[in-house]
Structure formats: C-alpha cells, structure tokens
Amino acid sequence: MKVAWLAVAIGFGAACGKSRSPAPAPAVAIDAAAPPAIDAAPALRGPIVIDRISVHTDETAIDQPALAASLRASMLATGAFTGPDHAGPMARVDVTLAATVRPAQGGDPAGAVVACEVTLHWLSEATAGDEPAPHAHVAATRPLGAAAARKPDDAVRALAADVIAAAGRDLGAREHERALPIDQLAPLFGSADEQQVTWSLELAGARKARALVPAITPLVKRPPPVRDAAISALVAIGDPSAVAAITSAVDFDDRDALSTAIEAAIALGGPDADDFLELIATGHHDSDLAARARDGLRRIARRVDAGAP
C-alpha cells in the first residue's frame, strides 16, 4: 500500500481521531506597496455551483469516482453548494488523498490512516477577482481490530469516506464564512480551530478590512500558522498602523520571524516601518537581514518620491 503524501501528526487514542492542519499562510508581499485599505463586501454570492471534482491519489484501494460522489453529496448537504443545473459562480474541486496502514507498534494496534486536502478553484477569474476560495485539510486514524487487519483495504476505504465527508462539511462551513459581512468575521479569530482562524484572516485580508485591524493585531503574538496568517492579512489590508504591533511582537533571534517582519514593514511603510528597518539595517548582526532592511528603506523612499503610500 503506497503513501502518496502524509505530513500530519495524528493521535491514535480514539476509535476515529481527526486532525485538521491549516493551509500555509500566503507569503507577505515585498515588491510593492500594500493597497489602500477598504472594507469590501464579498465579491461572490452563493450558493457555489460544483463544476467537477477531481480526486488524486496513489492508493489503489480507493474508488476515486465513489469518493468524488461522496464529497459532492457532503458539500451539497451543507446548503453552501449546488449542482451544475443551477446558475451561480462555479468552482472546480481538487482532492489530494493519501492513505496507509500503520503497523502495530509499542503496544498500539495497527491503524488505518487517511489524510486529504481539498481545494476549490473559481472557474471565472473575471467574476471571482481576488476572492479567496474555500479549502479544507482533514486527517484521521482508526485502529484496526484483528478482523480488519486481515482486510485493511476495507478499513482504509471506510475511513476515507468519513474523512471526505468531514472535508465536505468543512468546505460548507468555510463557504458560509466567506459570505459573512466584515463585522461578523472578528468573532472567528477566537476560534479553537486554526483552520477557521487562518481562513477568516484570509478573508479579512482579501476584503481590505481596515475595521478589523485592532482585532487582528493581537494575533501576531500567536505561534505559526496563525501569526503568519495575521501578518499576511495586515499587509493585504495595507494599514501602516499595524507595523508597530508586528515589529514589537517579533523575536530578534528568530531569523524567519524577523525576515517576515522586515517584509511586512517594507510593504506597509510609514514612520514605524522606517524606524524598525533603520534599527535592523544598522544594528543587527545578520548581514543578510541588515542588507534587506537597507534595501527596504530604499524601496520605501522610492515609493514616497513617486507619491505612493
């Protein structure tokens, strides 16, 4: 039984334990000034028409057409999606699924393991513009009893069906959240579900929701991926007042975090960005980061000279 991809840590205590791993936060732009902040409404109104579902897996035990049909049914049941016989914005659905059987070890029984990533792609960029498309990541394990261990393919198929159904429900939740007005996004930032938090931050950034900046800035103190998603949202919104929160939360000994803060400061600009970049440019022991800060100061100066923010 081949493993197509599996990079999630999964607990094995429950009969069917599930783990959701958030998508990577978008990279922080450095090459251009952040756009002006505007509190925009959703660009698309649902329900979303499911055009087609493509399943990608190396696991021979998986019936791909059956899995696609199961995902379609789960998505339709949420009320956020509809079939091709209806009018509305359309999306293609891509599923990447990995499955394996974990052998018995350390006193734990053998277990079926399945992980999937499901992503929607808008079919009309002209209609969707920069509107984020829902995505879901779900993984689960199920211990195998003696009988199931003799027929592991059956256990993998059953678990894959459960995981796909959960992914469909998650996509429905993300799509309902995508359609929320800006003032209803802020409560989602406090969710215990990291996928919901990073998704709501992605939406806030796409809407250029300056009204949400005070609710987003505390999240830059959270560990990744929430921290990175919060910084990406603040850069997308384009409010220079967010620079102080980003830079005050950074660990100067964490090279990756400091690099992200430099890029965010360059993108946002403003007096706080100038002060921070000057500090790094003249006082940091890492010559590469110091050089990037100096280059950032030059970029900001050129934007100011050209009359950009």
Q: How far apart are CA 221 and CA 280, in angstroms?
A: 20
Q: Return the closest-CA partner of residue 80 out of 200, 168, 164.
A: 168
Domains and CATH numbers, the chain: 17-180 (3.30.160), 183-305 (1.25.10.10)
Whole-prediction pTM: 0.84
Most confident of 1-5, 76-80, 253-257: 76-80
Percent of the chain with pLDDT over 90: 72
Residue 148's pLDDT is 76
Comparing 183 with 8, the larger pLDDT belongs to 183
Backbone φ and ψ for 135, nearest 5 degrees, come out as -150, 155
What's the CA gap between 272 and 175, in Å, rounded?
36
What sign does the dihedral 94-209-188-258 (CA atoms) show? Answer: positive
DSSP string, 174-195: HHHHHTS-GGGTGGGGG-S-HH
Question: Which residues, other chains included, contact 19 with Cβ-Cβ below 8 Å and sequence gap of 6+?
Answer: 8, 9, 10, 11, 138, 139, 140
**Inter-CA distances, 227 with 48, 56, 224, 254, 270, Å:** 30, 31, 5, 13, 21
Label the pairing between strands 135-143 and 17-19: antiparallel
Q: Answer yes or no: are the C-beta atoms of 297 and 278 closer than 8 Å.
A: yes
Q: pLDDT per residue over 40-55, tens digit each?
A: 888 788 799 999 999 9
At 88 the pLDDT is 87
Q: Name residues whose C-beta falls within 8 Å of residue 25's C-beta, 6 or more positions apart in sequence.
A: 198, 201, 202, 224, 225, 228, 229, 231, 232
pLDDT band at 126 (very low <50, low <70, confident <90, very high): low
pLDDT at 45: 83
Residue 87 forms beta bridges with which residues? none
Question: Mean pLDDT, to the nearest integer, of 207-226?
Answer: 96
pLDDT winner (highest mean) among 12-26, 27-41, 104-118, 143-157: 104-118
